[in-house]
Amino acid sequence: MIDLRGKTAVVTGSSSGVGAATALELARQGCDVVVHYNRSREEAEAVAAGVRKLGVRCAVVAGNVADDADCRRIVGAAEEAFGRLDILVNSAGMTQFIKHSALEEVTDDIWRTIMDVNVKGPFQCIRAAREPMTRAGGGHVINIASIAGIKGTGSSVPYAASKAALINMTISLARALAPAIRVNGVAPGFIAGRWLKEGLGEHYEAVLARTEKKLPTGRVSTPEDIADAVLGLLMGLAKRDRTGADGRRRDADRR
């Protein structure tokens, strides 16, 4: 298991859902966590309380990831509170539930808001994280994308397009920031929980059942499943960092 003791992570959108599950999973591994929220401080504080119960430190910070100044403040909270930044998980996101055929319902404001939060937000957070991660000796970024960005499905056309852009940007920044900063992504499908319950309303159970029938596992993912995937990526990257691409242990880990 990866040893995250003494490390610090910023998890955007961690007052609920995948972000909250990820913050708690990182805390279980000994990582100090910055919990970010945009709307509900009450929910963020509840997640922070859960993080602290696991024996690590936690800071709570508000902000809109569509705003660059907020991104710099959110990411900067890690160094301010804990003296370093090692991990950034870009989980904050938003959508509008609009049928893909309902083109006239997609306004300029919807396009702007979704792209600002889902694409520009992660970029701005990564840009803000670059220097503190470099000062810490390197770091890891995990972007929470979506299968919608691969298959062109999901809650709306702008949402699918934003996640496709996020996947493409993940690849671009992985090249640009390697090897000191590793940039990867997770692209979940249907995730059980409040977001889809609220978005699909009375259709939620029917869509859930229809989706589960198509899946080899017979069930959709939970936020905890996605948090496990994030941790799995970090474990694999940490192992590679220790051994190097040729499988031999690196001198830096002998010190």
- Strands 32-37 and 8-12, by their bridges, are parallel
Give kind and range of the element (H or E) at residue 146: none
Determine which one of 37, 123, 159, 195 is catalytic. 159
Residues 6+ apart with CB under 8 A from 4: 26, 29, 30, 31, 87, 234
Euclidean distance between CA atoms 223 and 198, whole angstroms:
16
- Strands 87-90 and 58-62, by their bridges, are unpaired
Phi (first) and psi of residue 205, to 5 degrees: -65, -40
Tokens of 231: 């941790």
Any catalytic annotation for residue 159?
Answer: yes
**What residues are paired with 11 via a beta bridge?**
35, 89
Euclidean distance between CA atoms 6 and 14, whole angstroms:
20
- In 3D space, the residue among 169, 108, 161 whose CA is nearest the CA of residue 143 turns out to be 169
Sheet holding 8-12, edge to edge: 58-62, 32-37, 8-12, 87-90, 139-144, 181-186
| Residues with catalytic function | 159
